[in-house]
Amino acid sequence: MNKTIIKLMTFISLFIFSTTTGHALVLDLYAVSGVNTPEKRAGMIDGFENFKNLAENGGASWMDFTLSMKIKGDGYNETMLFAAVYENNSEMMKTNALFATNQPWFDNNFNIETDQVVNAVFQTPPGVEVNYEGAEVGNTLWYGLINVTDFLNFVNRFPQMPEKMAESGIDGQLGLVSCSICPASMGETTHMMFLSNDTLEGMGNDLDSFDFAMQRWFYSNIRPFVDQVDTGMNMVIAN
């Protein structure tokens, strides 16, 4: 079936959060599977660049819009991941309304055979102000989709995790977003945890630094209060 990707935006962008000052963020995310040939991948990149230019010139009010490739996990090397980052829900819906009245932006750039498009919307935690640093090509993100089964215990322990990671020599940025719109295909997902790094090599160093002490703390303080739904890794290929 011909999927023209008429719902664009995406799934996992590369973003770096720091809990200082700024605005809470909304992430409108789409995963497109079945991009399984060099021709399809090249077409997606060209379509992304053309669409982004049309949308931004036409008034799209996102803070960032990126294209990533899934490089680890189910569907690796055949799943393209688009992500739009907004300052709030109002900006997201205003931009979505703009797309609805400019359908050729999609049709002319994403007439590509794919398997499935999955859309989800995530938000930063209520009351937490964040600074957003735009993604760059090569940025790498490990993510875990989770179902938080004991929210109070989880939120009491998760803020301790950055310090524990730093003690183990992990340099990447840790983040947490909650799912405000998650489809049935994402199971019982309630949140997404992620670790971002500037490069693949940097991510490898962080994974090597996840030593026994860090693992023991994680499996004692975080894992008992969540169920894992999915995990994977993505790298930004266009922005």
Query: 3-state class of 70 per DSSP?
Result: strand
What span, in angstroms and rounded, lies between the C-alpha atoms of 100 and 107?
Answer: 12
Its pTM stands at 0.85
Half-sphere exposure of 223 toward its Cβ, with a 13 Å CA cutoff? 7
Backbone angles phi, psi at 147, to 5 degrees: -110, 110
Lookup: tokens for 180 = 């405000």
Cβ neighbours of residue 53 closer than 8 Å, sequence gap 6 or more: none
What span, in angstroms and rounded, lies between the C-alpha atoms of 50 and 225?
Answer: 43
The CA distances from residue 136 to 68, 84, 133, in Å, are 10, 14, 9
Domain spans of the chain, in order of start: 16-238
pLDDT given at position 190:
94
pLDDT given at position 42:
95
pLDDT given at position 12:
34
C-beta of residue 81 within 8 angstroms of C-beta of residue 31: yes
CATH topology classification for 16-238 = Alpha-Beta Plaits (3.30.70)
pLDDT given at position 20:
39
pLDDT given at position 4:
32
**Residues of the chain predicted below pLDDT 70:** 1-24, 126-127
What span, in angstroms and rounded, lies between the C-alpha atoms of 68 and 232?
Answer: 12
pLDDT given at position 23:
55
Query: For 71-112, what is each residue's pLDDT tens digit?
Result: 999 999 999 999 999 999 999 999 999 999 999 998 999 988
**Between β-strands 140-148 and 173-181, what pairing exists: parallel, antiparallel or unpaired?**
unpaired
